[in-house]
Amino acid sequence: MRAVARWLIVAVLLALSGPAFAQSGVTETEIVLGCSNSFSGPLAFTGEQATKFGVDLHFKVVNDGGGILGRKVRTIYYDDGYKPQEAVANTKKLVEQDRIFAVIAPQGTPPVVATMEYLEENKVPLLFPFQGSPVTRGRRWVFSGMTLYDRQARMMIDYLVGQRKLTTFGALYQDDEYGKAFLTAFEKDLARHSLKMMVAESVKRGVNDVSAQIAKLQAARPQVTFLVLTPPAGAQALKERQKIGWTDTIMVSSGPLTDERYLALAGDAAEGVEGLSLWPDPLTSDLPGVKAYREAMTRYFPKNEPNRYSLSGYVAAMLFTEGAKRAGKNLTREGLVTALEGLKGWDSGILPPLSIGVDHETQRQGFWVKVEKGHFKQLTDWLKSE
Amino acid sequence: MGGALVLLGALLAAWPWLAPRYFVFLASLVLINAVVAIGLNQLSFGHAGFLAIGAYTAALLTIHAPALPVIVTLVLAGSLTAVVGLAFGVPCLRLSGLYLAMATLAFGFVIAETLLSLEPLTHGADGLRVPAARLGGVTLATDTGRYYLVAVVAALLTAAAVNLARTRTGRALLAIRESEIAAQASGVSVARYKTIAFGLSAFYTGVAGGLFAFVVGFLSPDAFDVFLSVDFVVMIIVGGLGSVPGSVAGAAVVTVLHDGLASFQSYRPLIFGVLLVVCMLFMPGGLTSAVRALARR
């Protein structure tokens, strides 16, 4: 017993002595970045497109053009299958073994949240995660990626109430952080216009049968029904509505849901659906940045179709490149954060001009789309979210 | 034997000073898995469920009763898991072989679903952040601190398991493993000792779950899926069923392999499946008996 007690004392003393100093992942010739993402599991397609065909696509262009101030960018990815504990292990490995400079474009709220505290503690930048929960807001080493959910909700309500003069709203939302962040924000923004959410029905994550909820929503007869779901459940909701012939409501999809996969799954049931789009159409947009993206895709990955996931990763890599260039030859993590914070009206040619302040929010906008003949048709210019 | 133990103890104690930081974290995971493997005394595909109960209990206790020392938290996590294990185990006494394995499989799914439904408590699919463990006035907030907590607890539980084998209960369990009928004929109450075995196994897994919560720092029901249960089974089959050193070796092999395959999760079930088949064909007694056979040669 005394031996055990002695070990315990030693253990406690050793525990107090603190971690080793972390290296920065920058050499004369190279910058190493990485992330843990979904390459298996429910979001595997999104994860692979955003990283291997998005982030890497832009870095191929950069590297072939001589790199960032002479340094080539190398990326390392590990698969977490959307499991937070795997994301923790992978991120530790990236930081402590692979000694990456920063984490770029990881995906999903639970895996990102699971690693956030650790990255903050170790002062490793967490750049542009593919998730929109406002939990990432107000952190020293975190820069948000997609437009945060509360901003999306504000744009949607302000547009529908202000410009379209609609007054009654219902919502079908996924019963987790994603769905609830939207619902809370919808309710707050409706209250600002002295309106209320008439009816809100929840769907468990991974459940695609929404017939009971759709029936209840129809009974309440809202003018607008928000869908805050994943593509399979969202498509199912549209099909269910078509089946019961419910036509006197406008179905509106949240930003993360407004994508091509959701359209494809819903087929002709998607006709007339509206939503908030966070990215210009990757296949048809004439914006110079999107054209350059498509050209790069044809050059480096001719077999891979352009889509908004690879486009989002491509934008993340563009933003990093811009920040690292501004941080200068003596690239440090602090320098990168300061450089990104100083970005004012920077034009990617894809999104409206970006200004990142001390709040570390990158994307802040979206525009309204409506499905016509199986494609998203743009109805408005970029909406304000202030 | 004594010399080897001292050497092993010294290596465990010195590890954070010898190895890079990430390997300290990895070693913690190896030891946690070793505790589960030592406790896993029959074919079960539901041990991820027990691990989850222990993990969530420890996490919730640390959140809502931060004054509790970590040792008490771990004992409570293990005890609650043991109670659930007994409640589940007693009705399963009538089952054996394949049917028992199927019941444990169902148990794992039920626990994952329960965690999702107990949302006010567990935050459902969003997951739960686990605060750092506290011991007296000290917060174990570094990898090294957590490693020593895991190492001490794992050493105590391993010693207990080795000693159990020398007691009346241990001999009874051994007898049942070799042949239930023979054990019953010699006056061993099979039902009673099987229940004890269930409870002990759940206790070990529950404590390991508590350690897991502290080491990983974030819990979500997704973490405790059937593949994790299968990993545990692979550990004892690779290591050798019912052998303490074998369980530790199995845990080490599987954990390190899992880490090495971090870029290829989709191939993991395939690789582990092949490993399992190869072990059963060429090394039916696991690493333990393979090493013994080599030593005899």
Q: Does B16 touch chain A (CB under 8 A)?
A: yes
pLDDT band at A245 (very low <50, low <70, confident <90, very high): very high
Are A36 and A86 members of one domain? yes
Q: Give tens-digit pLDDT for A312-366.
A: 999 999 999 999 999 999 999 999 999 999 999 999 999 999 999 888 999 999 9
pLDDT band at B264 (very low <50, low <70, confident <90, very high): confident
CB A97 within 8 A of CB B22: yes
Q: Does B124 touch chain A (CB under 8 A)?
A: yes
pLDDT at A136 over 70: yes
Inspect the interface and report whether the beta carbons of B20 and A113 lie closer than 8 Å.
Answer: no
- Quick one: what percent of chain B has pLDDT higher than 90? 42
Residue A105: inside a domain: yes
pLDDT at A30: 94
Domain tally, chain A: 2
Are A166 and A253 members of one domain? yes
pLDDT at A306 over 50: yes
Inspect the interface and report whether the beta carbons of B126 and A8 lie closer than 8 Å.
Answer: no
pLDDT at A84: 87
Average pLDDT over residues A217-241: 93
Q: Give tens-digit pLDDT for A265-299.
A: 898 999 999 999 999 999 999 999 999 999 999 99
Are A272 and A374 members of one domain? yes
pLDDT at A1: 45
pLDDT at A19: 39
| HSE-up (13 A, CA, CB side) for residue A179 | 23
Q: Does B178 touch chain A (CB under 8 A)?
A: no
pLDDT at B265 over 80: no
Are A53 and A166 members of one domain? no
Per-residue burial over B38-65, b if 16 or more Cβ lie within 10 Å, else e, is bbbbbebbbbbbbbbbbbbbbbbbbeee
Residue A370, φ and ψ in degrees, nearest 5: -135, 140
Are A204 and A121 members of one domain? no
Nearest to A114 among B116, B124, B218 (CB): B218
Average pLDDT over residues B31-60: 92
Instruction: Tell me the chain A residues in contact with residue B212 when contact means C-beta distances shorter than 8 Å.
Output: 85
Q: Give tens-digit pLDDT for B76-88.
A: 999 999 999 999 8
How close A127 comes to chain B (CA, Å)?
20
Nearest to B22 among A10, A96, A205 (CB): A96
- Closest residue of A to B151, CA-based? A11
pLDDT at A7: 54
Nearest to A96 among B13, B21, B151 (CB): B21
Q: Does B145 touch chain A (CB under 8 A)?
A: yes
pLDDT at A374 over 70: yes
Are A62 and A132 members of one domain? yes
Instruction: Tell me the chain A residues in contact with residue B215 when contact means C-beta distances shorter than 8 Å.
Output: none
In angstroms, the CA A361 to CA A337 distance is 12
The β-bridge relationship of strands A367-372 and A274-277 is antiparallel
The residue among A5 and A347 whose pLDDT is bigger is A347
pLDDT band at A15 (very low <50, low <70, confident <90, very high): very low
pLDDT at A12 over 70: no
Helix ranges (H only) for B165-218 are: 168-178, 180-185, 190-216
Segment among A146-160, A163-177, B260-274 with least mean pLDDT:
B260-274
Average pLDDT over residues A6-15: 50
CB B172 within 8 A of CB B192: no
pLDDT band at B244 (very low <50, low <70, confident <90, very high): confident
User: Can you spell out the DSSP letters for A19-41?
Assistant: PPPPP-SB-SSEEEEEEEE-SSS
Query: Can you give the residue range of the structural domain that contains A228?
Result: 149-277+367-378
pLDDT at A50 over 70: yes
Segment among A158-172, A323-337, B261-275 with least mean pLDDT:
B261-275
Interface of A with B in 89-118 (CB under 8 A): 89-90, 92-93, 96-97, 109-110, 113-114, 117-118
3-state secondary structure A57-83: HHHHHHHHCCCECCEEEEEEEEECCCC
Are A132 and A269 members of one domain? no
- B118-127, B151-160, B173-182, B187-196: range with highest mean pLDDT: B151-160
The residue among A197 and B100 whose pLDDT is bigger is A197
Residue A275, φ and ψ in degrees, nearest 5: 180, 175
Q: How many residue pairs from chains A and B have C-beta atoms closer than 8 A?
A: 124
pLDDT at A5 over 60: no
Residue A260: inside a domain: yes
pLDDT at B269: 80
Let me know the angle formed at the C-alpha of A102 by A32 and B124, rounded to the nearest 5 degrees: 130
pLDDT at B82: 96
- A159-173, B167-181, B224-238: range with highest mean pLDDT: A159-173
pLDDT at B210 over 90: yes
Which stretches does DSSP call E strand in chain A?
Answer: 30-37, 72-79, 102-104, 126-127, 142-143, 169-174, 197-203, 224-228, 250-253, 274-277, 367-372, 375-378
Q: Does A79 touch chain B (CB under 8 A)?
A: yes
Residue A131: inside a domain: yes
pLDDT at A17: 42
pLDDT at A20 over 70: no
- Closest residue of A to B123, CA-based? A176
pLDDT at A6 over 80: no
pLDDT at B260: 85
In angstroms, the CA B201 to CA B195 distance is 10
Are A294 and A265 members of one domain? no
Residue A6: inside a domain: no
pLDDT at A69: 94
Substitution target in B265, B267, B270 with the highest count of A β-carbons within 10 Å is: B265
Let me know the angle formed at the C-alpha of A277 by A81 and A338, rounded to the nearest 5 degrees: 70
How close B86 comes to chain A (CA, Å)?
28
pLDDT band at A22 (very low <50, low <70, confident <90, very high): very low
In angstroms, the CA A169 to CA A199 distance is 7
Are A55 and A92 members of one domain? yes
Cα of A350 vs its chain's centroid, Å: 16
Segment among A56-60, A126-130, A132-136, B41-45 with least mean pLDDT:
B41-45
Residue A36: inside a domain: yes
Nearest to B22 among A41, A82, A92 (CB): A92
pLDDT at B190: 85
pLDDT band at A35 (very low <50, low <70, confident <90, very high): very high
Are A96 and A177 members of one domain? no
pLDDT at A246 over 60: yes
pLDDT band at A59 (very low <50, low <70, confident <90, very high): very high
In angstroms, the CA A238 to CA A227 distance is 9
Substitution target in A83, A107, A136 with the highest count of B β-carbons within 10 Å is: A83
- Closest residue of B to A135, CA-based? B126
Average pLDDT over residues B62-87: 94
Are A42 and A106 members of one domain? yes
Substitution target in B216, B228, B256 with the highest count of A β-carbons within 10 Å is: B216
- Quick one: what percent of chain A has pLDDT higher than 70? 94
Substitution target in B218, B225, B267 with the highest count of A β-carbons within 10 Å is: B218
pLDDT at B189: 86
Residue A347: inside a domain: no
Inspect the interface and report whether the beta carbons of B222 and A175 lie closer than 8 Å.
Answer: no
> Which CATH number fits the domain that encloses residue A223?
3.40.50.2300
Nearest to B125 among A40, A78, A205 (CB): A205
Are A247 and A300 members of one domain? no
- Closest residue of A to B137, CA-based? A12
Nearest to B22 among A16, A78, A97 (CB): A97
How close A77 comes to chain B (CA, Å)?
7
